[in-house]
Amino acid sequence: MGAIVAPLESVGAERPEEAFMAQATIEGLAGVLVWTEADRFPAMARFYRDTLGLTPRSDKSDFVNFDWSGVRLSVGVHAGVRGVSREPLRVMLNLTVADIQAAHTRLTHAGVVFSRPPEREEWGGWVATFADPDGNILQLMQLPAPGTR
């Protein structure tokens, strides 16, 4: 049995293309998946859970899901992934922190090696860069206070 779909004219727009665009709008980011191979999964899960201090929403033998502020970050096993990230600069995860210096110190003590220490950006915020065990790039971001640059 197929899905029942109301005609575009019935959703309240005068023109069908306006109704379609209203229905097709991307509303937000639900989550990010970081895939790894089976033998690398334990190190990846430990990194995100223990080193970064994220609290798992669910934690299975091949998939862990973290949920904060309505966005899910998941780490899991995928049969199509082999080895470390070949293009680690293609996608970066930006993690906001209230105090980048304190977060940098805590993570450094936990064994994280930063490729870029905390530096102030021209837009007013601070950024520090590091990688997870698979070489995926992450950045700590301390956003500027409202009304400042």
Provide the residue ranges of all domains of the chain, joining segments of one domain with +: 29-76, 91-149
75, 44 Cβ separation under 8 angstroms: yes
Dist CA 17 CA 37 (whole Å): 43
**In sequence order, which residues have a C-beta less than 8 Å from that of residue 6 and are 6 or more positions away?**
none
* pLDDT computed for residue 69 by the predictor: 79
- Rounded mean pLDDT for each run of 10 residues along the chain, 149 residues in total: 51 63 75 95 97 95 90 95 89 94 97 98 96 96 86
* pLDDT computed for residue 19 by the predictor: 67
Q: Which two tokens stand for residue 87?
A: 């293009």
29-76, what's its fold?
Answer: 3.30.720
Q: How far is CA 16 from the centre of its chain?
A: 35
Q: Of the CATH numbers 3.40.50.10680, 2.40.50.140, 3.60.21.10, 3.10.180.10, which one belongs to the domain with range 91-149?
A: 3.10.180.10
List alpha helices for the chain, DSSP H.
16-23, 41-46, 100-109
The model's pTM is 0.78
